[in-house]
Homo-oligomer: A and B are copies of this chain.
């Protein structure tokens, strides 16, 4: 196989040494089935990607596409004997078209870099995962990534107009349209988005850019406890104001941030709602938000300039330190907004009942919660079995409230066990048939994303 690969990819970018294989073996999600790739290919252009897929297809070798490996669900974990196909070197911004308000990029472009390129034109790429400085647009597309300002601006799918995709057999296709609207044929673009590398390799992305807001206003609202902060989210909704950012951080998260970054958030309350309004109405919207949050008992302060940016950066860093494992797992459930208060209370109950630690951040405007449960390492198996019970229970409760097992991180490898709790056998079957139509030999990221 390596020989076949070398016939179309420069030798320095076909890595078979132990170190390389090890460092490309996993992403930042929990690892359930450790596996090593046979080889890592650092593709530099579309031809090379096509070559890799042709080889893999002929030889029946699994291929795991990889951006920067920041997945939190094991979507980019190696499967035994696979080719890791890294797109990180395909990182050119092909063009920003200010009048068309679109940009065309290679998949390895870092999300934040596109925003840097768009800003001078008064434009932005809206979907901004907290990992925006370290994750690729290809990875964002493959997971349909969300982020902080998605409540107002939509998720990745809502900003992607067209894709270039290399199919399982090496065929290159183009889907979608450069125009803002287009309904010719099936929405293949949307089908590839969120398919986690199981239907094709994304090698080109055309996105719609939105307007950089003329103004933003940032508010920090501190609450006495978590359910009160969740109620604040509903109060803003009831006022029919749509913030660009509406993030919730619980007391444990504040304590961890304070310890790590020498901030003093914990002194100000036991739960924080971070609200940003933007656009021509930013000030008026912030005034309404301030009023309704004070009415439900919050201490609200307007954060100016650098401080506002710092607070948002703190939120982005709220996951903090490294990868998930057996002793710590970050979740990604979503619930209908009306259930936020109840679900926040349920999370605290579950942690208490099962004796596990909990911290919570949430893209609260979307009802998308990231509880992290953890247990001390020295508790060994006893701890991890309580941890897993808490995870299962938190997912079950979310589903019972009409929620989903994954709001934005994807199913990957880790959440496969929960997928049948959410999807009916008929849906699972239909997805399998789609997978087969795209990838009859089953070589694209097998064992991920769908049951």
Q: Give residues in A with beta carbon < 8 Å to B.
A: 97, 99-102, 122-123, 143-144, 146, 150-151, 154-155, 157-158, 167, 171-175, 177-188, 190-191, 193-195, 199, 210-212, 214, 234, 237-238, 240-242, 279-282, 284-285, 288, 334-338, 363, 365-368, 402-411, 415, 419, 422-424, 426-428, 430-431, 433-434, 436-438, 449-450
Contacts and interface: CB of A to CB of B under 8 A. Distances in A.
21 contacts: A97-B336, A99-B337, A100-B338, A101-B337, A146-B181, A167-B430, A179-B335, A179-B367, A181-B334, A183-B407, A184-B405, A184-B422, A185-B450, A187-B193, A188-B430, A190-B191, A214-B240, A280-B284, A280-B288, A281-B281, A430-B437
Contacts of A427: 173-175, 185, 188
A185 to B, nearest CB: 6
B144 A187 contact: yes
A308 B279 CA distance: 24
B151 A411 contact: no
B410 A183 contact: yes
Contact of A237 (B101, B175, B403): B101
Contacts of A154: 154, 158
A123 B237 CA distance: 11
Nearest to A176: B404
Nearest to A234: B99
A279 B152 CA distance: 13
A430 B168 CA distance: 12
Highest count of chain B CB atoms <10 Å: which of A179, A214, A403: A179
Nearest to A339: B100
A240 B122 contact: yes
A143 B183 contact: yes
A294 to B, nearest CB: 19
Highest count of chain B CB atoms <10 Å: which of A99, A368, A415, A428: A99
Nearest to A102: B336
A189 to B, nearest CB: 8
Nearest to A367: B179
Contacts of A366: 179-181
Closest 7 CB pairs of A and B: A280-B281, A190-B190, A281-B281, A99-B338, A179-B334, A433-B437, A182-B404
A183 B1 CA distance: 34
B186 A195 contact: yes
A181 B402 CA distance: 12
Given A101-B337, A157-B190, A184-B405, 13 more contacts: A100-B337, A122-B240, A143-B183, A144-B183, A172-B426, A180-B368, A181-B366, A181-B368, A184-B415, A184-B423, A185-B428, A185-B449, A214-B240
A397 to B, nearest CB: 14
Contacts of A171: 426
A181 B407 contact: yes
B179 A407 contact: yes
A281 to B, nearest CB: 3
A191 B184 contact: no
Given A185-B427, A280-B281, A424-B174, A180 B334 contact: yes
A409 B433 CA distance: 29
Highest count of chain B CB atoms <10 Å: which of A154, A173, A234, A419: A173
A102 B409 CA distance: 23
Contacts of A241: 211, 280
Nearest to A279: B281
Contacts of A190: 157, 187, 190-191, 193
A430 B122 CA distance: 38
Nearest to A122: B240
